[in-house]
Structures are given as C-alpha cells and as structure tokens.
Amino acid sequence: MIPLPPHLTLAEGPAARPPVALFHGFLESPAMWQALPPRLWAGRDAVALPLPGHAPWLCSGAALEDLLRDDAFLDSYAALLERLRPGEPWRLVGHSTGAMVALALARRAPHLVSDICAVAPLFSGRVAGRGMQGALARLPILGPMGFRWMMARWLARPDGFRRGVAGVTRRPGARLEMFDGVRADLVAADPAQIYRFGQWIGAKDMTADLHALDRPVHAIICDRDPVVVPQHQLALISAARGASATVLRSGHLPMLETPAAFARVFLAWRNRHGAAAVDPGFAQRHSDRRFEAVAI
C-alpha cells in the first residue's frame, strides 16, 4: 500500500475550478505557503505538500529510504492528489527544489497534472551545493555531522534563523517573519533525514525529462538569485516545450522580497492571463527566450 503524505489545506473552493498543489523547497516547509496572503488561493482547492524528510512528513529512516528508492515518494503524492480530487488534473506550484519535484511528478503521473508554475526553479542537482561548503557537505562522515551542526546553530534562535534566511535574499525589507512557521517545522524534523533528501537532490537531473515534458510550465525567474543562478532558471524555458517566463528583481524568495509583484505574477498565472511589460535590459540580453509576463 502506498503511504500518503500529510498535507496542509490552504483553501477550499468549488469543484468547477482546478485544484492547486504547492511544493516548498529544500530547508523549507508547507508553512511558507500558509504565511502568504489567502487571496492567492481563494476560491480554489489548494493544498501544500511537504518534501520527504521535511516536517510534517515524519517517518523512520528505513521508510524514508523506501520513499526515495526509485522516486517512490512521487507515487505517494499522486495517490494523495487522486484521493483528494478523483480523476481531475492539478495545477502544480513549486519553489526551488519544489519545482524539481513538481516537474518530476508531471513526468511520473501526467494525467494528474495540467500545468506548472516553477518559482526560482531548480531542475538539476548539479547546480546545488556549489563551492567549498557543498564539497564539505558531500564528505561521507564530516558531511552529515557538519550539516547537523549547521542546522542546530541556524535554528537555535529566531533572530539567527532570520539572518540565515536573509542570506538568500537580495532586496531590503524582506518580510522574514513570514518564515517563522518554517523554523518550527525544521526544528521538528530530523536533520539526518533532511540531509538524506539533499543527497537525492544532488543526484537528480531533470534535463532529459524536460525535453519530453508535455505540460505547460511558467517559470518565475529571480534575476538576483544567489542560490539557483538565473542562467539555470532560464535554461528551463529552452528545455521544456511550451514554457514561458516572468522575471522578478529578487533573490531566492520573491514571495518575501517583492510580495506585491509576486502576487501579481502568481495571480496572472492562476487566472490564466498575462500582464505587465518586459524589463528591456533583461529581455534584450535573453531575446531568444520566450517571455509571457514580467513584473518589476
């Protein structure tokens, strides 16, 4: 029997409107979506799903290995979405690693997916964990120990946690308090299991799958992202058929850094209509890409 993951209900709506499922990124939790304005999901069934190893999806180490083997956790997502809305396709939203998971689910169970909104998308683990810190994290013994130490220090105090979150942003005044619920979930998780899922990320490459993906993808690209470089995010457009993009002047967390612009872009995607003008400089540098809407 396929285990069903826990889910957080963000909103409920009429059956006539397509449901939305949201996936957070690595070292995040479903609480990040819950902290955003309810109007983003109003009038629709919307659920937030945890990544494996992240609270509230708590299980034994052996159970996590079963979920990661052959990407079986994707079947758990599919079983849950089918149970929640039998026979209906879902609109998927994924942030960072969550976008990778959404893309993988669309390839695994295309009948359950109508389209995808990928925010600051990561689709290949090869770009994750770059530099000296990434190299140290991959060491067999020191890697897990160092990760556990880093997690404990980062989560020890609310102010320290917010400083860590601020490190991946690039705009002043980011609403870091909206991530406080994420800290509570990370404290409840097992660092060893989060580290194990990080290994799954490092070994995953969606490049070949993107060429075969037959579902529309709209990427919200963050042009100042220090975590997933914009060039990697832009590559999603050329690799996936029917993909388009919105560019935000933001770091890795546009929903905290530029919430008004993020809301406009997200609602445009949710309501299936475009908006706004293209940043001339950015568009000129990437004139071979397909832009649908850009908010400044």
DSSP letters of 101-125? HHHHHHHH-GGGEEEEEEES---BG
Catalogue the E-assigned strands of the chain. Answer: 8-11, 20-23, 46-49, 90-95, 113-119, 217-222, 243-248
pLDDT, residue 273, reads: 42
- pLDDT score for 253: 97
Look up residue 46 and give its two tokens. Answer: 């919307």
Please, what's the b/e burial string for 23-36 (b: 16 or more CB within 10 A of its CB; e: otherwise)? bbbbbbbbbbbbbb
Band the pLDDT of 128: cuts 50, 70, 90: low
Instruction: Give me the chain's average pLDDT, please.
Output: 88
pLDDT band at 142 (very low <50, low <70, confident <90, very high): low
Domain boundaries, the chain: 8-285
pTM for this predicted structure:
0.90
Q: How, if at all, do strands 113-119 and 8-11 pair?
A: unpaired
pLDDT per residue over 65-120, tens digit each? 999 999 999 999 999 999 999 999 999 999 999 999 999 999 999 999 999 999 99
- The string of pLDDT tens digits covering residues 175-192 is 999 999 999 999 999 999
pLDDT at 261 over 70: yes
Fold assignment, 8-285:
Rossmann fold (3.40.50)
